[in-house]
């Protein structure tokens, strides 16, 4: 049985894929934007909005009386405790980038990082 080594075209393909992956990663990190505000919604309705730049502790009352404890500190938002049974929302970590969110399904609570509305550009232009 003959041992197959990498051929020239195989090496070119691997290097090309690595360069494309690196370029895409750099573009994604370069275009990330830090958020300005934290929106808290319960059952689809926004109940509170806080600046990400201020240190705040807030108790969110969810559907059915469940509670989530939101902390905004050092430009990051996170949940420190919740009355839901699995506490997955508490383990979702800290968020600070536009579009990131923490979701508690049992309490129907969503905490989302949003940017300054006047700085957002168009997604697409049609016509």
Which residues fall within 8 angstroms of residue 48, CB to CB, at 6 or more apart? 39, 40, 58, 60
Which residues fall within 8 angstroms of residue 87, CB to CB, at 6 or more apart? 81
Summarised one tens digit per residue, pLDDT across range 53-111 is 999 999 999 998 999 999 999 999 999 999 999 999 999 999 998 889 999 999 999 99
The pLDDT assigned to 28 comes to: 75
Q: Decide if 124 is inside a domain.
A: no
Q: Decide if 32 is inside a domain.
A: no
Q: Decide if 105 is inside a domain.
A: yes
Q: State how far the alpha carbon of 115 is from the alpha carbons of 31, 48, 102, 119, in Å.
A: 13, 15, 16, 8
Q: What is the CATH number of the domain that holds 92?
A: 2.60.320.10
Structural domain count of the chain: 1
Number of Cβ within a 10 Å radius of residue 120:
11
Name the percent of the chain lying above pLDDT 70.
86
Q: 100: domain range?
A: 37-117
Q: Decide if 1 is inside a domain.
A: no
Q: Decide if 103 is inside a domain.
A: yes
């Amino acid at each position: 049985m003959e041992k197959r080594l990498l051929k020239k075209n195989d090496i070119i393909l691997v290097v090309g894929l690595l360069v494309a992956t690196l370029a895409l990663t750099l573009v994604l990190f370069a275009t990330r934007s830090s958020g300005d505000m934290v929106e808290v919604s319960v059952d689809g309705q926004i109940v509170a909005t806080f600046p990400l730049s201020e240190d705040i502790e807030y108790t969110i009352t969810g559907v059915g009386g469940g509670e989530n404890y939101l902390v905004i500190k050092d430009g990051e938002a996170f949940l420190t405790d919740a009355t839901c049974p699995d506490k997955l929302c508490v383990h979702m970590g800290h968020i600070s980038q536009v579009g990131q969110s923490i979701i508690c399904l049992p309490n129907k609570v969503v905490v989302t990082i949003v940017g300054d509305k006047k700085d957002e550009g168009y997604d697409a232009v049609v016509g």
